[in-house]
Amino acid sequence: MTTLTEFLGMGGYGAFIWPSYGISAVVLILLVAFSLRRLHRIEADLIPLEQNRKTRRQNKSTKEGAAS
């Protein structure tokens, strides 16, 4: 147990070392999370549009097929 407290104390500098590691972790994790969330949201928005386009194309080609 003493070793753990010693480790966390960091020779009296723990109050500066752990916040700096902590804030780095928080900021970088948030950066990754927000980037991923944005990507997923855009991908989700794209799906119906892509399907829409596909069906429209099929409609067009069947119409053209019917015309010829």
Indicate whether 16 belongs to the interface with other proteins (CB under 8 A).
yes
Positive/negative CA dihedral, 52, 57, 58, 63: positive
If the CB atoms of residues 48 and 65 are measured against other proteins, the closer one turns out to be 48
Residues 29 and 34: their CA atoms lie apart, in Å, by 9
Q: In this structure, are residues 16 and 9 in contact, taking their beta carbons and an 8 Å threshold?
A: no
Indicate whether 20 belongs to the interface with other proteins (CB under 8 A).
yes
Indicate whether 12 belongs to the interface with other proteins (CB under 8 A).
yes
Nearest distance, CB of residue 66 and other proteins, angstroms: 20
Nearest distance, CB of residue 42 and other proteins, angstroms: 5
